[in-house]
């Protein structure tokens, strides 16, 4: 992490360097910010990446019980419950920046 970098620059840097997609919890540890802060910054990061030709790739959240994937979801946070089986055992969405 370079000195003087903003939180959004650190998010972009960490997601660009990631070999595998990372969850909000993992990203919060990498950039030393709360998950709540990241949720508010990620839409802005996604918009600014479009100008540079890069894309914020999302691996959707999925139900660990029945396998339902939350593919159409625009929100960045983890869903609370599966619409199919009502299970609360949900794997979080994961993010990575690609060209």
State yes or no: pLDDT of 85 exceeds 70: yes
74 vs 70: which has the higher pLDDT: 70
pTM over 0.75: yes
What's the mean pLDDT when you consider all of the chain?
92
Write the pLDDT tens digit of every residue in 8-61. 999 999 999 999 999 999 999 999 999 999 999 999 999 999 888 999 999 999
For residues 90 and 82, give the distance between their C-alpha atoms in angstroms, rounded to a whole number: 7
Which pair of tokens denotes residue 39?
């949720």
What is the Cα–Cα distance from 45 to 6, expressed in whole angstroms? Answer: 12
Contact assessment for residue 53 and residue 16, using Cβ atoms and an 8 Å cutoff: no
Per residue in 48-69, pLDDT (tens digit) is: 998 889 999 999 999 999 999 9
| pLDDT digits 0-9 by tens, 88-97 | 999 999 999 9
């Amino acid at each position: 992490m370079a000195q003087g970098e903003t939180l959004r620059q650190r998010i972009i840097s960490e997601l660009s360097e990631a070999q595998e997609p990372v969850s909000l919890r993992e990203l919060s540890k990498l950039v030393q910010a709360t998950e709540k802060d990241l949720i508010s910054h990620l839409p802005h990061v996604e918009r600014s990446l479009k100008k540079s030709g890069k894309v914020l790739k999302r691996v959707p959240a999925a139900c660990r019980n029945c396998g339902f994937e939350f593919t159409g979801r625009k929100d960045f946070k983890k869903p609370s419950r599966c619409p199919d089986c009502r299970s609360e055992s949900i794997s979080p969405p994961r993010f990575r920046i690609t060209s």
